[in-house]
């Protein structure tokens, strides 16, 4: 099912170069500095459940496509625990697998099916049962337990994403277990810095209790955040992550910020003030990052929960987050005016608006010492997405203002598949440059290493 030259350019000179470049990186360990796997899996090390609960239910790439073609979420048993008829759902998925032609999900899944489960005939209605039985059986084997897979995948470090209110007990349990797998948390403060987050004011109170600070005061609130950052850092965290609707930043006077925080806490802030507060908090976080050394990731630009009916019935993360136009040049200016020239600060920018790659992001990252560009995100974590990213960014920002690959996944099994797609894409991209004599092959080989490991470790301080 998997051709050894997949994703390489068809032209034979380029393909030969791509192969050589890929051979130099394909067996390197995986560094995964940003993702959404659960530390609990590795703390408990219990078998993964049935194929549907493992592969279909939690993957919004998969069920959004099926849903878009008229298959209901009820039929797919989305949100139901445990799944009542997993084999029936699996059949529905299998007989619609052709819908994924041309999508990265197809690439990732085929990789998992063949390399992990030894399945080599394409998934379809016809092969559905064989697939189901094989996967279900394998999942009961010892070498399919989370820790065994982690080792088999050669993961050097894996970052999770966590609320400041999380006790990180699973991370603690892993450390105390004596198991050597390096799993680190990431500080994602949205629940306590975004006034539009559900439960915001309760979250701020909980933050106060957790830290012993008076989070009803601006000063105490900031101290509480700094304290949780310290705690995350002590548990291995090297980065924070910020998923705001826009990239807007602000640099208010202390008194103005204090007044705004009061307004927010009283629950009287309108949308504009909420946006201003998030904007101010990005700058506060940058300031703390400069102090404690945590790398800052900014992930703006998604209109969350666009489908009102689905949100009412199913809640967040139902595949209905839709990107919109995103401004960086004006939005980031307040933060950059204050901290832009700090070469000790690292801010990694992501986007869902590809028009900003060549127009805004590459020019910004090619100038400001604190800025780096994150890999193509979400819908663009795909062969063509990666190609466009490199084509639009490299000539202005070079390779060295980028930070290698993020798998950004909830789907643990797909991690090697995703890194493999990235490595193949990089090899193909560099091969074209070599074939067109824009780079020598020794440089391309060095770059391939840097993109796979060097830049990731450096940017994320791992």
Binding a second copy (rule: CB under 8 A), the pick from 31, 276, 320, 415 is 320
Q: Which residue, 261 or 380, has its beta carbon nearer to a second copy?
A: 380
CB under 8 A: which stretch of 39-47, 166-174, 194-202, 301-309 binds a second copy?
Answer: 301-309
Instruction: Give the footprint of a second copy on residues 214-273 (CB under 8 A).
Output: none
- Cβ nearer to a second copy, comparing 179 with 378: 378
One character per residue 40-69, x = contact with a second copy (rule: CB under 8 A): ------------------------xx-xxx
Please report how close the Cβ of residue 38 comes to a second copy at its closest, in angstroms.
Answer: 25
At residue 240, what are phi and psi to the nearest 5 degrees?
A: -115, 165
Using the minimum distance from each CB to a second copy, give the nearer residue, 234 or 309: 309
Count of residues that bind a second copy according to CB under 8 A: 92
Burial level of 403, CB count in 10 A (0-12/13-18/19+)?
buried
- Sign of the CA dihedral running 217, 223, 227, 232: positive
Among 175, 329, 410, 454, binds a second copy (CB under 8 A): 329
Q: Is 112 in the site for a second copy (CB under 8 A)?
A: no
What does the alpha-carbon distance between residue 292 and residue 306 come to, in Å, rounded to a whole number? 36
Options 279, 433, 445, 462; binder of a second copy; rule CB under 8 A: 433
Does an H or E element contain 371, and which? strand 371-373
For the CB of residue 391, give the shortest distance to a second copy in the complex, in Å: 5
- Cα–Cα distance, 334 to 280 (Å, whole number): 9
HSE (side-chain half, CA atoms, 13 Å) at 139: 19
Whether 90 contacts 128, CB under 8 Å? yes
Q: Using the rule CB under 8 A, is 310 a contact of a second copy? A: yes
CA distances to 96, 168, 306, 412, 457 from 310, in Å: 22, 31, 9, 26, 39
User: Least CB distance from residue 254 to a second copy, whole Å?
Assistant: 20
| Residue selected from 74, 120, 324, 461 as contacting a second copy according to rule CB under 8 A | 324
Task: Tell me how far apart the terminal alpha carbons of the chain are, to the nearest angstrom.
Answer: 35
Residue of 35, 51, 86, 104 interacting with a second copy (CB under 8 A)? 104
DSSP-derived pairing of the beta strands 322-323 and 302-303: antiparallel
Taking the least distance from each CB to a second copy, the nearer of 40 and 369 is 369
For 363-368, the CB contacts below 8 A with 24+ separation are 363/396, 363/397, 364/328, 364/329, 364/332, 364/336, 365/393, 365/397, 365/401, 365/402, 366/396, 366/397, 366/398, 366/401, 368/336, 368/340, 368/341
Q: Which of 40, 49, 369, 454 binds a second copy (CB under 8 A)?
A: 369
Residue 168 binds a second copy (CB under 8 A): no
Residue linked to tokens 């659960």: 38
- Near a second copy by CB under 8 A: residue from 241, 354, 407, 420: 354
Rounded Cα–Cα distance for residues 413 and 30 (Å): 13
Does 458 help bind a second copy (rule: CB under 8 A)? no
Minimum separation from the CB atom of position 436 to a second copy (A)? 6
Closest alpha carbon to 434 in 29, 8, 26, 3: 8
Whether 76 contacts 199, CB under 8 Å: no
Cis preceding-peptide flag for 82 (omega within 30 of 0): yes
Give Dmax over CA atoms of the chain in angstroms: 67
Q: How far is the CB of 403 from a second copy (least distance, A)?
A: 13
**Cα distances (Å, whole numbers) of residue 365 to 296, 402, 439, 442:** 14, 8, 22, 26
Q: If you search the block for the tokens 């994703």, which residue do you land on? A: 7
Of the candidate spans 151-159, 174-182, 212-220, 352-360, the one that interacts with a second copy by CB under 8 A turns out to be: 352-360
* Gap between the Cα atoms of 153 and 246, Å rounded: 35
C-beta closer to a second copy: residue 104 or 189: 104
The site map against a second copy for 2-21 (x = CB under 8 A) is xx-xxxxxxx-xx-------
C-beta closer to a second copy: residue 179 or 379? 379
State the number of CA atoms in the 13 A half-sphere of 117 facing the CB: 26
Closest distance to a second copy from the beta carbon of 227 (Å) = 30
Q: Which is nearer to a second copy, 279 or 397 (CB)?
A: 397
Binding mask 370-409 for a second copy (x = CB under 8 A): -x-------xx-xxxx-----xx-xxxxxxxx--------
Question: Least separation, in Å, of the C-beta of 329 and a second copy?
Answer: 5
Nearer to a second copy among residue 16 and residue 210 (C-beta): 16
Q: Least separation, in Å, of the C-beta of 410 and a second copy? A: 18
Residue whose CB is less far from a second copy, 25 or 149: 25
Minimum Å gap between C-beta 232 and a second copy is 26
């Amino acid at each position: 099912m998997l051709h050894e030259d997949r994703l390489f350019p068809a032209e034979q000179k380029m393909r030969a170069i791509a192969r050589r470049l890929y051979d130099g990186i394909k067996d390197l360990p995986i560094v995964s500095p940003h993702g959404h796997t659960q530390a609990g899996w590795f703390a408990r090390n219990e078998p993964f459940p049935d194929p549907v609960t493992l592969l279909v239910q939690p993957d919004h790439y998969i069920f959004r496509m099926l849903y878009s073609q008229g298959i209901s979420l009820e039929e797919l048993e989305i949100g139901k625990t445990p799944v009542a008829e997993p084999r029936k759902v699996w059949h529905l998925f299998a007989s619609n697998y052709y819908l994924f032609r041309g999508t990265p999900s197809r690439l990732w899944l085929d990789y998992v099916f063949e390399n992990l489960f030894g399945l080599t005939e394409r998934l379809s209605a016809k092969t559905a049962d064989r697939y189901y039985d094989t996967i279900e059986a394998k999942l009961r084997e010892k070498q399919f337990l989370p820790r065994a897979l982690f080792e088999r995948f050669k993961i050097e470090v894996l970052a999770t994403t966590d609320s400041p209110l999380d006790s990180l007990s699973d991370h603690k349990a892993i450390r105390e277990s004596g198991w050597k797998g390096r799993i680190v948390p990431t500080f994602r403060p949205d629940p306590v810095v975004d006034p539009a987050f559900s439960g915001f004011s309760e979250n701020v109170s909980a933050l106060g209790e957790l830290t012993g600070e008076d989070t009803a005061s601006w000063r105490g609130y900031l101290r509480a955040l700094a304290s949780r950052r310290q705690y995350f850092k002590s548990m291995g965290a090297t980065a924070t992550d910020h998923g705001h609707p826009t990239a807007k930043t602000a640099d208010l006077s202390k008194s103005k910020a204090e007044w705004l925080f009061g307004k927010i806490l009283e629950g009287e802030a309108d949308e504009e003030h909420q946006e201003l507060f998030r904007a101010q908090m990005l700058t506060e976080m940058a300031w703390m990052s400069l102090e404690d050394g945590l790398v800052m990731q900014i992930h703006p630009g998604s209109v969350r929960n666009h489908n009102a009916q689905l949100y009412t019935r199913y809640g967040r993360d139902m595949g209905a987050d839709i990107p919109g136009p995103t401004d960086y040049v004006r939005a980031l200016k307040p933060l950059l005016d204050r901290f832009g020239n700090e070469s000790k600060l690292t801010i990694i920018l992501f986007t869902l608006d590809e028009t900003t790659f060549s127009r805004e992001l590459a020019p910004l990252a090619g100038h400001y010492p604190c800025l780096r560009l994150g890999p193509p995100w979400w819908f663009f974590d795909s062969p063509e997405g990666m190609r466009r990213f490199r084509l639009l960014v490299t000539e202005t920002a070079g390779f060295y203002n980028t930070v290698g690959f993020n798998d950004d996944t909830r789907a643990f099994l797909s991690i090697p598949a995703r890194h493999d797609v990235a490595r193949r894409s990089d090899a193909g991209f560099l091969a074209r440059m070599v074939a067109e004599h824009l780079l020598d092959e020794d440089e391309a080989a060095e770059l391939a290493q840097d993109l796979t490991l060097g830049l990731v470790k450096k940017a994320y301080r791992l």
